[in-house]
Amino acid sequence: MLIEQYVTQTETGFSFSRQQSSDFAKQVASDFNPLHDVDAKRFCVPGDLMFSYLLTKFGLTEQMSCQFSGMVAADTQLCTKQQENVLTVTDKQDKAYLSITRSGVVFDDLTIIEPLIKDYVRFSGQNFPYILQPLMQQHQVMINPSRPLVIYESMSLQFNCLPQQKVELKLSNSTLNVQGKRGNVVLEFSLISAGELIGKGEKRMILSNLMPYCDKQMQLMVQEYNNRKVAA
């Protein structure tokens, strides 16, 4: 995968261009969210791209918890700060965008980490429509087609033992808790290597501007997603 092609590194930090971010979203994560289009007005760098870059630079640990706290614009100059077991990504004004709490043994074998990243971001990038649409239908709510807003809040990984072979992710549970026009989604997944369960993970998202479920509008959203995927 060579994550370096999707990031611009300098002596003082790193940044992600619109093209790098869009290429990562579409080519690696199979994520066709319009926020990651090169010409999007509300463009933002994929959170999974930042997380993936940090894993290749600082390695994987037995327990990791990642918290997202802001959307990153293209070409924003970023740097990493480490205090005890917390790694934080900030800009030049010291605004934090992402923090990772790490504990346990550090693992830095890129032949294992890069395939894990690829599997995770593809799982993450395909949340809509494959996972979110059935959840929204079940609860009879949906994101607003005119302003769909899905916010990546946090994710975590916990390994019983660090992997020695390729790791696969399998969805184990998904829930949606609706509170008015806001929905809290939790996706739980298993980490499997050589047929054995070696850990688990969790991804949390926030759905905003929820409205009553309309099958016709939802099918139009799914069709638009599929059209974008084919066009890419």
Q: What is the pLDDT of residue 1?
A: 60
Q: Compute how many other C-beta atoms are within 10 angstroms of the C-beta atom of residue 197.
A: 12
- The mean pLDDT value for 89-97 works out to 96
Q: What is the pLDDT of residue 230?
A: 82
Question: Whose CA is closest to 8, among 66, 98, 76, 81?
Answer: 76
- How many structural domains does the chain have? 1
Predicted confidence band of residue 146 (pLDDT cuts 50, 70, 90): confident
DSSP-based three-state secondary structure for 25: helix
Q: Does the pLDDT of residue 166 top 90, yes or no?
A: no
Task: Give me the percent of the chain exceeding a pLDDT of 70.
Answer: 99
Half-sphere exposure of 168 (CA within 13 A, CB side): 9
Q: Does the pLDDT of residue 80 top 80, yes or no?
A: yes
Predicted confidence band of residue 163 (pLDDT cuts 50, 70, 90): confident
Distance CA 51, CA 101 (A): 12
- The mean pLDDT value for 37-52 works out to 92
Domain that holds residue 122: 3-231
> Chain-wide mean pLDDT for the chain?
91
Structure tokens at 112: 């294992």
Q: What is the CATH number of the domain that holds 143?
A: 3.10.129
Q: What is the pLDDT of residue 7?
A: 97
Q: Does the pLDDT of residue 162 top 90, yes or no?
A: no
Q: What is the pLDDT of residue 68?
A: 94
Predicted confidence band of residue 149 (pLDDT cuts 50, 70, 90): confident
Q: What is the pLDDT of residue 147?
A: 83
- The mean pLDDT value for 28-39 works out to 87
Q: What is the pLDDT of residue 197?
A: 95
Q: Does the pLDDT of residue 125 top 80, yes or no?
A: no
Task: Give me the percent of the chain exceeding a pLDDT of 90.
Answer: 67
Which sign, positive or negative, has the C-alpha torsion 55, 50, 125, 179? positive
Predicted confidence band of residue 70 (pLDDT cuts 50, 70, 90): confident
Q: Does the pLDDT of residue 24 top 80, yes or no?
A: yes
Higher model confidence: residue 132 or residue 146?
Answer: 132
pLDDT in tens, 100-112: 999 998 988 888 8
Burial of residue 29, with CB atoms counted within 10 A of its CB: 0-12 exposed, 13-18 middle, 19 or more buried: buried
